[in-house]
Structure 1
Amino acid sequence: MQVDVSIVIPVYNEEESLPELENEIAKALGGTYNYEVIFVDDGSSDTSWQQIKKLSDEKEFIHGISFSHNYGKSVALQAGFEKAIGTYVATMDSDLQDDPNEIPEMIQMLKDGYDLVSGWKKERHDPISKTIPSKFFNFVTRKVAGIELHDFNCGLKAYKSEVVENIYLYGELHRYIPMLAKKEGFTRITEKVVKHHPRKYGKTKFGLSRFMNGFLDLVTISFVQKYLQKPMHFFGTIGVILLIIGSGINLYIAYIKLILGQGIGDRPLLILGVLLMVLGVQLFSTGLLGEMINKNNVEGQKPRIRETV
């Protein structure tokens, strides 16, 4: 049977939500699309996996993956993406705060030509301790990514299947899927205002550590996207600048010693000049080494071909 939509749902200690969530998905998509639901249990300590197995036994289009321990949302989504067979792929959280009724319209937007549709929880039902950091995070990410989305971290998204086939998630990179998609050439990215319901069961998994890890991953992905295939452009440029400054300082010190005949042994500027030259050479060498290491990696990469005639 051809599957139109694969819905990938990471799960972590949401035993009470799952039966109700599956019922809401059936109401939203049943009769409209042939769909499958892929629950990915990310090492839950409650009975979430038992609930998933029960649902899977009852309905053949419900599938489950269970991790031995908690790996994180990105790894869970990646596992679901690799199992998904639908023409379109949707993701949502398992806590009943995302509304499955938004999915059909998001799928239609994909049919209209978009590669990725991201949900925007314009009206959020979360504590201020979560909403304020989220607004700041989205502002910074929007500026860095150059993608005009208001809610990068919204779990409710829809993609053409080729998008998820060409990205790889780990760490906290699920927050930056639009950036990863854009890097792979999927530039038709938009957003849709979606309903956000108050949490009905359990408690939020958001914490300061996740917030900080997200920003560290933002720095990582921004750097990698710019300099992965050209490390010399980063390290070499800084190295050359430091080398020039250090050389200039040392020429000045040599002028003082050789022309003016003054002592230089007690001048801190001498140490600074030598230090800058050493750092410059080290950074330049790091860039050169990076180019050598990256050579085999780049040669092994194949471009993603959109179309041939």
Structure 2
Amino acid sequence: MTTGLTVLVPCFNEGAQVEVAHGALVEALKEIGELEILFVDDGSTDDSLDRIRRLAETDPRVRYLSFTRNFGIDAVMAAGFGYAAQPWVVQCDADLQVPPEEIWSLLDKAAEGYDVVFGRRVGRRDPLIRKAGSAGLHWAARRVFGIGMPRGASTFRLVRTGVARTITDLRLPWFIPAVPLVGARYAVTPVTHRPRTAGRSKLRLVKLVAHAFELYFGFSRRPLTAVYAAGALGVVLAVAAALTGAGPIPLLLAPLLTAATLAALAVVARYLDGLLRDSSRVRRYYVRSANLPLRPEDTLTAGLPSPPPPSRAT
């Protein structure tokens, strides 16, 4: 039975960091015989793909997928987990804020019988606003929305490949809360964290807020329940006002009621939008180039060859 490891490295405009990450991973994991380093290029516009291709020419352990455009980290995970050749996958960012040596901490913990091991970043070296935002997001998920979030879990994680594919096939917006949702055995173990040495984070405030909404509305029905409760309360108050002969709604309350109505409609619309996207036939990603066999449905040309168009006969 093979006990190899696939290292999934998401890439978006990483430039020279591609070679840096490759060298560090190879050095840290040289004791693993069946090692695969799978770069997933999320539609980079710099020379990241060229650098990955050069590495693949000299190192047979390097495989890559390159998307037709930027599809986002969820698509990267779906592709990486779907094409991983080894029975275990560890997700490791190219910026190496978590040293590759810490992969052994995850592997040692998984040997105790876990399907998923998350790294908990000790002494996290991100900007204060980023750390506070992340902590607040996870606190609200657990306390306000009732979502099962493993405490301290991060994107630095080791997953049994079969379990990873089961979760990504569900097309849920977040991976972390999906792990306890399906009943996978998981653990969280501390790992060191260091400042970014190259480039900058690709996540911006707007994306972080959007990601939070994906979490809350994707895993909790509490906002919808609150709308139902508010509607029921409104009916009770209206009936009570009619029976007691109370006068019309005070002028100052009218704008508040209008705002509450619009907010309720927005919540319902958000859930409907999620249902429509789940039923969409558009795939999570399309691959433009790769150095591994692709499923036809994952390519833009449905697996057909791409010859040039016919020209005039000479």
What is the CA-CA distance between 1:4 and the residue it aligns to?
A: 1.9
Aligned counterpart, 1:81: 81
In the aligned structure 2, how far is the partner of 1:240 from the partner of 1:204?
Answer: 45
Distance 1:235 1:138, change over 3 A: closer
Letter in 2 for 1:73: I
What is the CA-CA distance between 1:40 and the residue it aligns to?
A: 0.8
The SS at the match of 1:203 is coil
The SS at the match of 1:218 is helix
Distance 1:170 1:214, change over 3 A: farther
Aligned counterpart, 2:19: 19
The range that moved more, 176-185 or 242-251, is 242-251
Aligned counterpart, 2:288: none
Aligned counterpart, 2:28: 28
Aligned counterpart, 1:205: 202
Letter in 2 for 1:179: P
Q: Deviations over 1:214-259 (max 9, x none)?
A: 22112212325x79xxx8x777666555444444443444xxxxxx
Q: Say whether the 8 Å CA contact 2:172–2:178 is kept in structure 1.
A: no
Aligned counterpart, 2:192: 195
Aligned counterpart, 1:37: 37
Q: How does 1:28-107 map to 2 (within 5 A)?
A: 28-107=28-107
In the aligned structure 2, how far is the partner of 1:163 from the partner of 1:57?
Answer: 31
What is the CA-CA distance between 1:170 and the residue it aligns to?
A: 10
Which has the higher Rg, Structure 1 or Structure 2? 1
Letter in 2 for 1:71: F
Q: Which has the higher contact order (CA 8 A, sep 6+)?
A: 2
Aligned counterpart, 1:128: 128
Distance 1:83 1:3, change over 3 A: farther
Q: Deviations over 1:174-233 (max 9, x none)?
A: xx42211111122x3221211222222222223211221122112212325x79xxx8x7
2:248 is the alignment partner of 1:268: yes
What is the CA-CA distance between 1:11 and the residue it aligns to?
A: 0.4
Letter in 1 for 2:40: V
What is the CA-CA distance between 1:50 and the residue it aligns to?
A: 0.7
Q: Deviations over 1:258-288 (max 9, x none)?
A: xxxxxx8xx316xx9xx9xxx9xx99xx9xx
The SS at the match of 1:197 is coil
Distance 1:249 1:85, change over 3 A: farther
In the aligned structure 2, how far is the partner of 1:213 from the partner of 1:190?
Answer: 27
What is the CA-CA distance between 1:18 and the residue it aligns to?
A: 1.3
Aligned counterpart, 1:256: none
Q: Say whether the 8 Å CA contact 2:90–2:156 is kept in structure 1.
A: yes
Distance 1:142 1:86, change over 3 A: farther
Q: Deviations over 1:127-173 (max 9, x none)?
A: 334333233333334444344412x4x33111122321122389994
In the aligned structure 2, how far is the partner of 1:169 from the partner of 1:120?
Answer: 25
In the aligned structure 2, how far is the partner of 1:98 from the partner of 1:130?
Answer: 16
The SS at the match of 1:177 is coil
Distance 1:51 1:142, change over 3 A: farther
In the aligned structure 1, how far is the partner of 2:171 from the partner of 2:41?
Answer: 17
2:156 is the alignment partner of 1:156: yes
Aligned counterpart, 2:176: 178
Aligned counterpart, 2:242: 250
- Which structure has greater helix proportion? 1
The range that moved more, 84-93 or 122-131, is 122-131
Distance 1:118 1:208, change over 3 A: same
The SS at the match of 1:206 is coil
In the aligned structure 2, how far is the partner of 1:146 from the partner of 1:131?
Answer: 20
The SS at the match of 2:8 is strand
In the aligned structure 1, how far is the partner of 2:226 from the partner of 2:113?
Answer: 36
In the aligned structure 1, how far is the partner of 2:240 from the partner of 2:183?
Answer: 44
Aligned counterpart, 1:302: none
1:145 aligned to which of 144, 147, 160: 147
Q: Could you list the runs of 5+ residues in structure 2 that have no partner in the other structure? A: 280-314
Q: Say whether the 8 Å CA contact 1:114–1:189 is kept in structure 2.
A: yes
Letter in 2 for 1:250: A
Q: Say whether the 8 Å CA contact 2:7–2:92 is kept in structure 1.
A: yes
Q: Say whether the 8 Å CA contact 1:88–1:159 is kept in structure 2.
A: yes
TM-score where L is the length of structure 1? 0.71
Q: Share of identical aligned residues, percent?
A: 24
Q: Say whether the 8 Å CA contact 2:7–2:90 is kept in structure 1.
A: yes
In the aligned structure 2, how far is the partner of 1:138 from the partner of 1:223?
Answer: 13
TM-score where L is the length of structure 2? 0.70
